Structure 1
């Protein structure tokens, strides 16, 4: 069963490559994390998986309250390992 993607209008704001632009580490298995994201509705904490990172940022995969999947690059300080 395919997971629906979060529509762009509802997705978390993602950092651009110029903000996280270091070599990217990609783990063999995602790391479970809690992360703060910013959406059009404001800031909120999500349960997520870190699927890649740099010294300054992490790329997370998360599900919204409707069970839709989203991805975003967020600052490393917004992520905490669970």
Structure 2
């Protein structure tokens, strides 16, 4: 059974390449994290995994309040390892 994706209008704001920088390190195995994301409706605390990172930011795969999956680049200080 496929996991539903977060609709575009409800996705987290994601940093762009100029913001998150290089080099990008891909996780060999996703790291469990919790993170703060920003959407059109405000800030939300989510649970997920880090799938990539730089010295400034992490790309997370998260699950929203409705059980849908989303991805976003967020600042490193918004992410905590679980």
TM-score range, shorter chain: over 0.9
Please identify which structure carries the higher strand content: 2
Deviations 1:1-32 (A, max 9, x none): 11111011000000000101211111111000
Q: Which runs of 4+ in 1 moved over 4 A?
A: none
RMSD across aligned positions (CA): 0.6
Aligned residues: 82
Could you tell me which residue of structure 1 aligns to residue 16 of structure 2?
16
Q: 1 CA distance for matches of 2:43 and 2:27?
A: 27
Q: TM-score, normalised by structure 2?
A: 0.97
Could you tell me which residue of structure 2 aligns to residue 80 of structure 1?
80
Instruction: Provide structure 1 residue ranges, at least 5 long, that are not aligned to the other structure.
Output: none
Could you tell me which residue of structure 2 aligns to residue 43 of structure 1?
43
Does residue 1:2 correspond to 2:2, yes or no? yes
Q: TM-score, normalised by structure 1?
A: 0.97
